[in-house]
Amino acid sequence: MEELKRCTRWIKNDKLRAWTEECLQKAPDYFWKIPASSTGKYHPEFAQGEGGLVRHTRVAVYIALQLFDLERFTPLEEDIAISALILHDTCKHGLEGADHTVSGHGRIAQELYCSDAPEGSVRWRVGRCIASHMGNWDTPRPSDELEWFVHLCDFLASRKWAQPDFDKINC
């Protein structure tokens, strides 16, 4: 958990950072151990093996941090994206820990963390980004620029050509 807790330091909003850390404590235990892809087909080598899904998550957050230099989002929107990226795959194998990626895992995580969030609230927006992070491969599909951004960061972190230097990734 410490690896991803380091990523939460990039969330400037204290309440959202604390909430994201609380959500990480609710993440299924398997999340911390499994590879990003059960078959190895959809993620690069660094995301395979024990803890691969956590490494994939760190790279997705790192990509977001690099792209924030383009100044497309407000500080709060950046915080929402970071929170969503930290939480996006925590329920990848469902709540029970299936042997493979569960269809709708973004919606499962959204329900786990954001079911009580009022529509339009910050936590609701995090939930929408989590639910739509799979882009065209699941529903709901991203419906605004921030949701597409979260999808893009996740997508780039899953490319076979990705070879991050974890000594330089600051989350």
For 66-109, what is each residue's pLDDT tens digit?
Answer: 999 999 999 999 999 999 999 999 999 999 999 999 999 999 99
Taking the C-alpha atoms of residue 43 and residue 158, their distance in angstroms, rounded to an integer, is 5
Would you say domain 2-157 falls under CATH 1.10.3210?
Answer: yes
Enter the tokens of residue 134: 């799979």
Residue closest to 30 by CA, chosen among 53, 13, 62, 10: 53
The percent of residues above 90 in pLDDT, for the chain, comes to 81
pLDDT tens-digit map of 51-65: 999 999 999 999 999
Model pLDDT, residue 38: 78
> Is pLDDT at 17 greater than 80 in this prediction?
yes
Enter the tokens of residue 81: 């994206």
Cβ-Cβ contacts under 8 Å for 103 (sequence gap 6 or more): 138
| Its pTM surpasses 0.85 | yes
Of the pLDDT bands very low, low, confident and very high (cuts 50, 70, 90), residue 120 is very high
Q: Which of 9-13, 22-26, 45-49, 136-140 bottoms out in mean pLDDT, i.e. has the lowest?
A: 45-49
Contact predicate 36/43, CB 8 Å: yes
> Is pLDDT at 40 greater than 80 in this prediction?
no
Comparison of pLDDT for 161 and 117, the residue scoring more? 117
Residue closest to 154 by CA, chosen among 110, 92, 112, 97: 92
Taking the C-alpha atoms of residue 142 and residue 149, their distance in angstroms, rounded to an integer, is 9
Model pLDDT, residue 29: 96
Model pLDDT, residue 39: 77
Model pLDDT, residue 124: 98
